[in-house]
């Protein structure tokens, strides 16, 4: 049976108290509506329809920029409730599918597996409509699911309309539906406005039952899937729940988290077996960590690839590449284009940008290396600086294998230092240094070694 989907994203989101439309608020760097789309986009036979209204243009632009597949849009103006929002998709979808999935853009943690489950349940149970629910000790704010004595679902009643008895019901409506499309398009016209003048999608349940049709409920095993975002407290709770879902997945795949509650692993990060993440570690973007590497505590890596057996602590790296057996930190910083080869060591207060540090090179303390190519087994003394910027342009520094750069050397680029060369402590080097040569002084000059 062909499947289409409608996602509601037109509401005001007043309780967010924000200039940004609610569904564009991000969790783990991705907007709520894009999270919500990922549960349906691989299930449908035709492009999902998103109903936009409040902030329509911004919402549409953000979806077009971020969605993996084609998405169509219906506009709801004015916003007269969730039932009315579905009516606005009629032109695009009536007659196009046999079943419809209806979800809300403010429910980012609902999974594709649950959507597949309600599709299956509708067929098995011969229902016109399947609703999703959660059993909750705190159903406040949600529509309550009313069942008959035999357990069958007979209505969803919005909290404002609940009798005192209905308010005690613990089963709440989480707003993901699978419906018979023909029945839906026929029945929508029968919806009556509520006391607030809104058309409620939830009223369809009682309508179906009155027609003698069956409505079934799928109780979500993981209540986290039913989290809906109305305000910023929900936003923070939901982000934490997503973080824990991701972290648990990685733990099951062989990654150790010393303190999962303080550790953030982004959606596109990949981690190898026996990686250890220490507290307060944050991994974002296209970051990957190889086998046995220990990251953290207090480390942020963005779009950075780390190899095997590395140890990185109290450090920050962005758009960097780190090979194997590298040790870094505490308090090191890699910026765009930093490449550290095997066995590099960067100690406290080292900064590297647009530079390659060759295998075994050591940079223990207080150094800045920018726009440089540094060979193997180079020693970069404390306080070394590549003076790469003359106020207008960046210049390049090249240092050969086994060179020894003395403490507090200023390397005034453009500059080439040959293999096995040495710069004395405090040298200001503004001329190229040949291989096997010691330079000393300000400005630095070659000197025969007599000692
Ligand atoms: C809705 C349900 C309630 C359920 C709860 C679960 C109704 C009447 N009530 O209530 O039973 O327990 O969700 O989270 O459906 N929207 C539109 N157009 C509108 C109104 C809303 O597109 O005119 C969209 C919003 O952008 C949002 C979603 O629908 O994504 C839900 O709207 P919201 O106002 O948050 O509904 P609830 O009051 O939470
Ligand atoms: Ca809501």
291 and 373 co-located in one domain: yes
Q: Which of 37, 104, 188, 215 to mutate to test the pocket of ligand 1 (most atoms within 8 A of CB)?
A: 104
**If you average pLDDT over residues 375-392, what whole number do you get?**
97
Number of domains within the chain: 2
Q: Quick one: 71 and 138 in the same domain? A: yes
**Do 284 and 197 sit in the same domain of this protein?**
no
CATH of the domain at 156: 3.90.550.10
Amino acid 195: pLDDT = 84
Q: Are residues 218 and 268 in the same domain?
A: no
Residue-level pLDDT at 451: 55
The rounded Å distance from CA 140 to ligand 1 centre is 14
Is 236 part of any domain? Answer: no
State in Å: Cα 245 to ligand 1 middle: 25
Per-residue confidence band for 447, with pLDDT thresholds at 50, 70 and 90: confident
Task: Looking at the structure, tell me whether residues 282 and 403 fall in a common domain.
Answer: yes
Report, as an integer, the average pLDDT of 304-311: 98
Quick one: pLDDT at residue 196?
85
Percent of the chain with pLDDT over 70: 99
**pLDDT-based confidence at 379, cuts 50/70/90?**
very high
Domain that holds residue 372: 254-447
pLDDT of 333 reads 98
Q: Does residue 231 surpass a pLDDT of 70? A: yes
pLDDT of 373 reads 98
Ligand 1 touching residue 185 (CB < 6 A): no
Mutation probe of ligand 1 site: the residue of 6, 9, 11, 75 with most atoms within 8 A of C-beta: 11
pLDDT band at 12; cut points 50, 70, 90: confident
Residues 120 and 188 in one domain: yes
Atom of ligand 1 nearest to the CA of 84: 23
| pLDDT over threshold 60, residue 229 | yes
Reading the block at residue 310, the tokens are: 């590395």
pLDDT digits 0-9 by tens, 92-140 = 999 999 999 999 999 999 999 999 999 999 999 999 999 999 999 989 9
Question: In this predicted structure, what is the pLDDT of residue 150?
Answer: 96
For 421-444, how does the pLDDT look when each residue is reduced to its tens digit (9 = 90+)?
999 999 999 999 999 999 999 999
Judge if 348 and 212 occupy the same domain: no
Interval between CA 201 and ligand 1 midpoint (Å): 9
pLDDT at 239: 97
12 is known as an active-site residue: no
> Which ligand sits closest to the CA of 84?
1
In a domain, residue 247? The reply is no
312 has a pLDDT exceeding 60: yes
Q: Are residues 290 and 434 in the same domain?
A: yes
Per-residue pLDDT band for 89 (boundaries 50, 70, 90) equals very high
- Asked whether residue 170 falls in the same domain as residue 268, the answer is no
Q: pTM for the complete prediction?
A: 0.92
Q: Is residue 215 part of a domain?
A: yes
Per-residue pLDDT averaged across 220-234, rounded? Answer: 94
Does 317 fall in a domain?
yes
- 351 contacts 368 by C-beta, under 8 angstroms: yes
Share of the chain above pLDDT 90, in %: 97
From 226, 243, 274, give the residue that closes a domain.
Answer: 226
Residues 37 and 186 in one domain: yes
Q: Is residue 249 part of a domain?
A: no
Domain match, 262 and 218 both: no
Domain co-membership, 422 together with 386: yes
Q: Residue 237 falls within a domain, yes or no?
A: no
239 in any annotated domain: no
In a domain, 234, yes or no: no
Catalytic hit among 72, 311, 365, 396: 365
What is the pLDDT, as a whole number, of residue 449?
Answer: 54
Q: How confident is the model at residue 448 (pLDDT cuts 50, 70, 90)?
A: low
């Amino acid at each position: 049976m062909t499947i289409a989907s409608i996602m509601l994203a037109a509401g005001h989101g007043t309780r967010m108290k924000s200039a940004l439309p609610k569904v564009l608020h991000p969790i783990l760097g991705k907007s709520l509506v894009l999270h919500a789309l990922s549960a349906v986009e691989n299930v449908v036979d035709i492009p999902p329809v998103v109903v936009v209204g409040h902030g329509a243009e911004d919402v549409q632009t953000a979806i077009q920029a971020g969605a993996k597949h084609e998405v169509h849009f219906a506009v709801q103006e004015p916003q007269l409730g969730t039932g009315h929002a579905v009516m606005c998709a009629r032109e695009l979808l009536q007659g196009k599918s046999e079943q419809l999935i209806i979800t809300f853009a403010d429910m980012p943690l609902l999974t594709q597996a649950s959507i597949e489950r309600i599709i299956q349940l509708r067929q098995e149970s011969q229902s016109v409509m399947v609703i999703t629910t959660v059993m909750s000790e705190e159903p406040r704010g949600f529509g309550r699911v009313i069942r008959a004595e035999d357990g069958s679902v007979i209505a969803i009643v919005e909290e404002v309309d609940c009798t005192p008895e209905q308010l005690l019901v613990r089963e709440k409506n989480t707003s993901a539906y699978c419906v018979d499309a023909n029945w839906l398009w026929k029945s929508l016209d029968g919806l009556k406005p509520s006391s607030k003048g809104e058309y409620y999608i939830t009223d369809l349940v009682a309508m179906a039952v009155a027609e003698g049709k069956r409505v079934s409920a799928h109780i979500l095993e993981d209540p986290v899937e039913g989290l809906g975002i109305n305000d910023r407290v929900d936003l923070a709770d939901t982000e934490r729940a997503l973080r824990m879902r991701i972290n648990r997945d990685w733990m099951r795949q062989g990654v150790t988290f010393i303190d999962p509650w303080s550790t953030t692993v982004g959606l596109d990060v990949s981690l190898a077996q026996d990686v250890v993440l220490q507290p307060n570690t944050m991994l974002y973007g296209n970051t990957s960590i190889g086998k046995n590497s220990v990251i953290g505590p207090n480390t942020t890596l963005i779009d950075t690839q780390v190899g095997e057996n590395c140890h990185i602590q109290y450090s920050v790296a962005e758009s960097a590449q780190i090979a194997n057996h590298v040790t870094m930190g505490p308090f090191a910083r890699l910026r765009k284009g930093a490449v550290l080869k095997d066995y590099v060591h960067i100690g406290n207060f080292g900064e590297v940008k647009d530079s390659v540090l060759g295998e075994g090179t050591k940079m223990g303390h207080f150094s800045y290396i920018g726009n440089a190519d540094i060979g193997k087994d180079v020693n970069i003394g404390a306080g070394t600086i590549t003076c790469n910027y003359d106020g207008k342009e960046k210049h390049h520094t090249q240092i050969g294998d086994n060179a020894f750069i003395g403490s507090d050397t200023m390397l005034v680029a453009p500059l080439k230092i040959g293999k096995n060369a040495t710069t004395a402590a405090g040298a200001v080097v503004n001329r190229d240094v040949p291989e096997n040569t010691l330079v000393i002084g300000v400005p630095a000059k070659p000197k025969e070694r007599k000692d």
